Structures are given as structure tokens and as C-alpha cells.
């Protein structure tokens, strides 16, 4: 079995393009939106009052010029980019093992850890349930007992068999092993997997094509920013742009520590979709500074402020994890100064991936009550 380092060598832009050709019939071409209001807000220097109490207090505010291009994966099937990786992984599995074997054994996965803060977890679980339903493959989904009724109903609606477990990863994995011993179902992991990464990377391929078409020029995006939990999306995006001039940046919550991979994430955050360690294969890609230039983090209040702006100014429903890239552009003076210095008067065209929109009215109400 090849190592993550060896597998990473096969992660190429060509692999992303091949993945896109395979999954195109099964996914949405999600829109690329712009918002002049958010461009103006982000391009306005922060006030001294806003910088007070932050690491940037006392500094002269940066004067960047932003033009945002939002890739709306919140409008993807099942409400998140995860539909890309799940379909690609299952289609490749059928290619490798044959349709008869895969349908006989079925597939299995488990949803991510749950927090009552926002209830936006379980995107991969729903994505695999959808892919399995589409391709007529039995699917077993292990979910925490305390998952929200809407999340359970969404998974069941695709015909998957839901099996409940405790909320910790150890408890979930124990139930997965138990089901596999009875059914011989094949595990499709949520992010630490070659085919999952290739599927998620198709987000970047579409983003670039849509930007080029809209801009009607040969100019490239100056930067693309994605959130990072397990790292499948960022690794895929970084892979696609690895032979281009576009910079790839990532926003983390707890899966990164002083340049080292964190094996267990205990951080509590409203961006609960990012509360997971970076995968081993994913780490090989995103720790490569030739592929991923910057690592940034944001506060809870900054995430909420960015989410409020998207809801109120763009009229777009997103989950907290989806807006961490915008939050960096709004509040991180190091990044803002970099755009000012490198972009000059022309500024930067920045692609931001809205990774998902799986939240609830109740959860949004609690955040802003």
C-alpha cells in the first residue's frame, strides 16, 4: 500500500480534470457570485477602534483593494461541496471493483462530530447517501444519536440505512467496524482519500473557468481561499492550482499547530465543520508551501460578523464554516496589508469558496440572538 507521500505525487491538475469529467453528470455547476458592497466594505481601512484589543492595535490600518468572487458550494447538491468527492469516490470504486461487488457489499461512512452550536455537521454522510442512491448502491451511515432531526431526515431521504452511535470519533468508528463485520461494506472516508480530494478539487476547476468567462480576459485569480477541517477541499484546490500563478490560502480552526499536523482537535467553535484533524494525505499537500502559501485563523465574533454580512448583503444562506475566508479578508491586517502591498492600486481578485449552507433557522437565530 502506497504511503501518503507517494499518493500525493499522483495528485495533479490532470487528476482533477479527469475527476470533473466523471462527476459532471451528477453535480451542480454552482454559481460564482460577486458583491460590490462586500468589495467596498473589505477595501475600506479598519478603524482604530476596530483594531483595539487585537494583535494589530496601534498599527496603521491597511488599505487593500478587494474584488471578491464567491463560489457558492452552499448551492451544491446536499448543500455542500462534499457531493463532489462522494460521487467521485463511489464512481471510482465501481470502476475498480466492479458494479456487482460494490452493490453486493454496499458502502459505509460516519458523520463528523456534532456540536449544538450550529448543527452543520454531517455533510459527507449526506453526500455519500445521495451518491449511493443515485448509483443504486446500499449505504450505511453512522450518525451520533444527538444529531439534529433535519440532518437525520436528510440522510434517510436518500435511502441510506442510518445507524446511531455516541458522539465521539471512537464511538462512531466502533459502530462502523461492527457494521462492516456483518455486511462487509466498503468504507469511504470523508476527506483523507485520494479520490475524495480529486473530487473536491473540481471546485477550483469550475471557479477558474467561471472567473475567466466573466472577466473576459486572460487574467488569473490572484488568490483562492478555502476553509480547512480535514483538508480535502483545500488539498484539492491547491492541487488544481499547483501549476498556475494563483495563490491558495487556507483558514484553520484547530487542525494546525506551528506548522505541524494536529492529531486531535478539541477546539469548540461555531465553525463546527472545521473541528477535525487534517488528514494524512491532505497534510502532504497543504503543508507544501509551493502549493499553499498562507495559513490564517479568525475569531468567533469575526465569523459571525462575516456571516451576518453574507446573509444581509448578499441574501445567501451559508453555514459559519463557509465564511471564514471572507472573515480573514475583512479583519486580518497581515493578509490585508499583503493585498495592499502586492496588489497595489489594482488590488486582488480573490476567489472565496462558500463551502456549505447546512445550517438551520434555529441555529442562525441562536447565533444572532
For residues 182 and 96, state if they share a domain.
Answer: yes
Phi-psi region at 264: left, alpha or beta (left = phi > 0; alpha = psi -120 to 50): beta
For residues 39 and 142, state if they share a domain.
Answer: no
For residues 12 and 146, state if they share a domain.
Answer: no
Which of 142, 172, 187 finishes a domain? 187
Which of 142, 157, 187 finishes a domain? 187
For residues 292 and 148, state if they share a domain.
Answer: no
Regarding predicted confidence, which is higher, 274 or 355? Answer: 355
Q: What is the CATH number of the domain that holds 230?
A: 3.40.50.1100
For residues 131 and 273, state if they share a domain.
Answer: no
For residues 232 and 337, state if they share a domain.
Answer: yes
Q: What is the average per-residue pLDDT within 28-35?
A: 98
For residues 156 and 281, state if they share a domain.
Answer: no
Dump pLDDT digits (tens) for 74-107: 999 999 999 999 999 999 999 999 999 999 999 9
Return d(Cα 194, Cα 11) in angstroms, integer: 8
Q: Which of 8, 111, 112, 119 is catalytic?
A: 112
For residues 31 and 165, state if they share a domain.
Answer: no
* Confidence band, pLDDT 50/70/90 cuts, at residue 252: low
Q: Which of 152, 149, 146 is nearest to 129 (CA)?
A: 152
- pLDDT of res. 115: 42
Q: Which of 71, 82, 151, 291 is catalytic?
A: 82
Adjacent-strand bridge partners of 225: 249, 352
Which of 123, 154, 187 finishes a domain? 187
For residues 160 and 299, state if they share a domain.
Answer: no
Q: What is the average per-residue pLDDT within 232-240?
A: 92
* Confidence band, pLDDT 50/70/90 cuts, at residue 40: very high
Looking at the structure of the chain, the number of domains it has is 2
112 is catalytic: yes
For residues 35 and 96, state if they share a domain.
Answer: no
Q: What is the average per-residue pLDDT within 110-136?
A: 73
Q: Which domain holds residue 39?
A: 4-78+194-367
**Residue 287 carries which DSSP code?**
T
145 is catalytic: no
Q: Does the pLDDT of residue 270 top 80, yes or no?
A: no
Dump pLDDT digits (tens) for 129-176: 999 999 999 999 998 887 767 778 888 999 999 999 887 777 888 999
The percent of residues in the chain predicted with pLDDT above 90, rounded, is 61
β-pairing, 32-33 vs 66-72, is: antiparallel
For residues 138 and 227, state if they share a domain.
Answer: no
- pLDDT of res. 271: 53
Dump pLDDT digits (tens) for 63-76: 999 999 999 999 99
For residues 73 and 90, state if they share a domain.
Answer: no
> Sign (positive/negative) of CA torsion 256, 258, 264, 266?
negative
Dump pLDDT digits (tens) for 184-210: 999 998 888 999 999 999 999 999 999
Q: Which of 119, 129, 41, 83 is nearest to 358 (CA)?
A: 119
Q: Does the pLDDT of residue 255 top 50, yes or no?
A: no
Amino acid at each position: 500500500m502506497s504511503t501518503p507521500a507517494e499518493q500525493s505525487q499522483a495528485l495533479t491538475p490532470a487528476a482533477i480534470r479527469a475527476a470533473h469529467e466523471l462527476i459532471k453528470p451528477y453535480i451542480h455547476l454552482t454559481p460564482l457570485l460577486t458583491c460590490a458592497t462586500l468589495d467596498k466594505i473589505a477595501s475600506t481601512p479598519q478603524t482604530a477602534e476596530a483594531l483595539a484589543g487585537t494583535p494589530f492595535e496601534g498599527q496603521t490600518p491597511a488599505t487593500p483593494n478587494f474584488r471578491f468572487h464567491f463560489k457558492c458550494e452552499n448551492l451544491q447538491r446536499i448543500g455542500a461541496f462534499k457531493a463532489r468527492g462522494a460521487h467521485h469516490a463511489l464512481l471510482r470504486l465501481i470502476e475498480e471493483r466492479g458494479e456487482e461487488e460494490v452493490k453486493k457489499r454496499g458502502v459505509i461512512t460516519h458523520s463528523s462530530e456534532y456540536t449544538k452550536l450550529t448543527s452543520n455537521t454531517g455533510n459527507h454522510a449526506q453526500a455519500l447517501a445521495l451518491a449511493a442512491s443515485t448509483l443504486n448502491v446500499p449505504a450505511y451511515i453512522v450518525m451520533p444519536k444527538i444529531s439534529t432531526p433535519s440532518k437525520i431526515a436528510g440522510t434517510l431521504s436518500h435511502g441510506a440505512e442510518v445507524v446511531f452511535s455516541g458522539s465521539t470519533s471512537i464511538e462512531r468508528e466502533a459502530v462502523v467496524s461492527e457494521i462492516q463485520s456483518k455486511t462487509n461494506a466498503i468504507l469511504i472516508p470523508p476527506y483523507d482519500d485520494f479520490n475524495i480530494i480529486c473530487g473536491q478539487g473540481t471546485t477550483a476547476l469550475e471557479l477558474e473557468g467561471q472567473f475567466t468567462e466573466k472577466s473576459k480576459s486572460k487574467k488569473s485569480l490572484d488568490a483562492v481561499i478555502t476553509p480547512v477541517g480535514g483538508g480535502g477541499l483545500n488539498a484539492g484546490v491547491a492541487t488544481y492550482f499547483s501549476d498556475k500563478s494563483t495563490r491558495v490560502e487556507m483558514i484553520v480552526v484547530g487542525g494546525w499547530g506551528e506548522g505541524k499536523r494536529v492529531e486531535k482537535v478539541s477546539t469548540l467553535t461555531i465553525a463546527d465543520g472545521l473541528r477535525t484533524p487534517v488528514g494524512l494525505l491532505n497534510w502532504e499537500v497543504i503543508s507544501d508551501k509551493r502549493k499553499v502559501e498562507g495559513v490564517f485563523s479568525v475569531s468567533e465574533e469575526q465569523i459571525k460578523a462575516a456571516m451576518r454580512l453574507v446573509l444581509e448583503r448578499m441574501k445567501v444562506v451559508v453555514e459559519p464554516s463557509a465564511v471564514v475566508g471572507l472573515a480573514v479578508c475583512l479583519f486580518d491586517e497581515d493578509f490585508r496589508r499583503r493585498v495592499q502591498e502586492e496588489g497595489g492600486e489594482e488590488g486582488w481578485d480573490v476567489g472565496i469558496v462558500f463551502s456549505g449552507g447546512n445550517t438551520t433557522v434555529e441555529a442562525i437565530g441562536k447565533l444572532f440572538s
